[in-house]
Chain A
């Protein structure tokens, strides 16, 4: 087995207030979003944030299999979050772990408030999130990517869903934790929301926050979410300007 060791940093934030990757405490990693990257899916999105690489695809609304799961008054939303075995330093078994089962559930519940499921009775909307490379914040990257893929699939939405993690490292409240900060930091809190509606659709945390730190962290998450939201919108707009050019060019 080839072992690439990761070294525990002596500290996560240096005397200049910079983090292990040179960011300030309230700074996001670089984000790249591409829309409509998979031909078979009804909607898809490839998203990078720092070294995270995430692919999301949406199929549906389509017929439900097995049939007994279909609901007479609305669509069901199914969601699978999955990490590929080579996405982390030590190979992860491809079978779904308990962590992946829980994340699939909370991601589904984060996306569902944005959808008008009652428009598509007896159908399913399936969301697949594959983590191709993980470096801290994969569930939030997965949610942001899945929301763009849902929009790309033309599914009516109340708003996009945008997610980011905040946390605590060396006593500082920080935005968008990388893997080292997630592992060795004091706390981690992923947040997802529909930014235009101010509705928080996912909230989890571990580590320890005083009530004051908790509030500060939530506010920092709002700031990060606004920035990611702008990138999601821009990516969708870019994609559909391109579609329009193609359509108008062919006339």
Chain B
């Protein structure tokens, strides 16, 4: 999807920036306050897992589809996870149809990095026949309404969809034929990495920027924090720059905010006793 240039009136930009310099925001939030989050899971019955996440007026939908495929040559004993993001033209007057542009690709890759780095999905348990057949888990995330901070909305949608997804236990016969059983089990998920995006406006950092704040920002920083309180993905975006102090402040802020957000997410599935492949 390509994007035409979005604009914000100078008056509004000025108002917004001067408010933030006084520690206030145009929508009344605190600088470190997230918009209300709602998460609606399993909204698409035909998907293996799905979630609609809204952060205020920003809405993303993610769906999980699983199929049996071949592993990558360098990881013969691991399942495959593929995250894709697209901006739909119905989501914003500035989105146009077409293949994913650099912004959509960036979001998909940042979300993917957070999930991969914290080893959220135990890919080894998704191996069916080593070197030959594995589960391939596709997560596609679509922004439905863009009102700022699509990274976090998409990251939370992908995570929520994965947390609620179910795949069937597979049965492998002596001659390596694969059958699907009637028993459906949750994906082997062991972490919930939460992305926290902050925008730098003037000399302040604001959490979860809305669209007008994004249009006024110098740059943004996304820190993905996992259950252990470690940082498992970082992405700076936008034209401006950050100081060392900005970054250190952002780390403290992200650690704090990520805990609140995590409490809104579906719980981790109990997976210890699950056998994904039976003989």
- Report the contact-size class of chain A (Cβ under 8 Å from the partner): 20 to 34
**Prevailing SS type, chain A contact patch:** mixed
User: What distance in Å separates the Cβ of B87 from its nearest Cβ neighbour in chain A?
Assistant: 14
B-side contacts of A121, CB under 8 Å: none
Name the residue on A nearest B238 (C-beta): A109
Q: How far is the CA of A106 from the CA of B222 in the complex (A)?
A: 13
A206 at the interface (CB under 8 A from B): yes
- Can you list, as one digit per residue, whether each of A94-127 has a CB less than 8 Å from chain B (1) or not (0)? 0000110110111001001100000000000000
Instruction: Assess A210 versus B229: contact at CB under 8 Å? Given A109-B219, A200-B243, A203-B247.
Output: yes
Contact A198–B117 (Cβ < 8 Å): no
In contact, A214 and B219 (Cβ under 8 angstroms)? no
Assembled-state Cα–Cα distance A194/B221 (Å): 17
Q: How large is the interface on B (under 10, 10 to 19, 20 to 34, 35 or more residues)?
A: 35 or more
**B105 CB contact (under 8 Å) in A102, A189, A200:** A102
* A101-B116 in contact (CB<8A): no
CB-defined contacts of B103 to chain A, threshold 8 Å? 105
Choose from A99, A104, A203 the contact partner of B221 (Cβ within 8 Å).
Answer: A203
Of the stretches B19-27, B35-43, B106-114, the one at the interface is: B106-114
Q: CB distance A205 to B231 under 8 Å?
A: yes
Q: Which label, helix, strand, loop or mixed, suits the secondary structure of the B interface? A: mixed
Complexed CA–CA distance, A152 and B247 (Å): 31
Contacts of A214 in B (CB 8 A): 231, 251
Distance in Å: Cβ of A197 to nearest Cβ of chain B: 8
Option from A193, A203, A204, A208 in Cβ contact (under 8 Å) with B232: A208
* Choice from A99, A197, A203, A208 contacting B236 with Cβ under 8 Å: A203
Decide yes or no whether A196 CB sits under 8 A from chain B: no
In whole angstroms, how far apart are the Cα atoms of A204 and B235 in the complex? 4
Contact of A205 among B116, B234, B238, B241 (CB under 8 A): B234
- Per-position binary interface string of chain A over residues 202-221, scored 1 when its CB falls under 8 Å from any chain B CB and 0 otherwise: 11111111110011001000
List A contacts of B243 (CB < 8 A): 198-200
Most buried by A among B240, B243, B244: B244
Q: At the interface, yes or no: B77 with Cβ under 8 Å from chain A?
A: no
Chain B min CB distance to A131 (Å)? 18
For residue A104, which residues in chain B have a CB less than 8 angstroms away from its CB? 102
Check A201 for interface membership: any CB of B closer than 8 A.
yes
CB-CB contacts below 8 Å: B206-255 with A: 219, 221, 226, 228-244, 246-248, 251-252, 255
- In the complex formed, the residue of A with least CB distance to B240 is A113
Give me 15 A-to-B residue pairs in the complex whose CB atoms sit less than 8 angstroms apart, sorted by A's number. Answer: A99-B109, A102-B102, A102-B109, A106-B237, A109-B236, A109-B237, A200-B236, A203-B221, A204-B234, A205-B231, A206-B113, A208-B232, A209-B230, A209-B231, A218-B244
Binding site for B on A (CB under 8 A): 98-99, 101-102, 104-106, 109, 112-113, 187, 189, 193-194, 197-211, 214-215, 218, 222
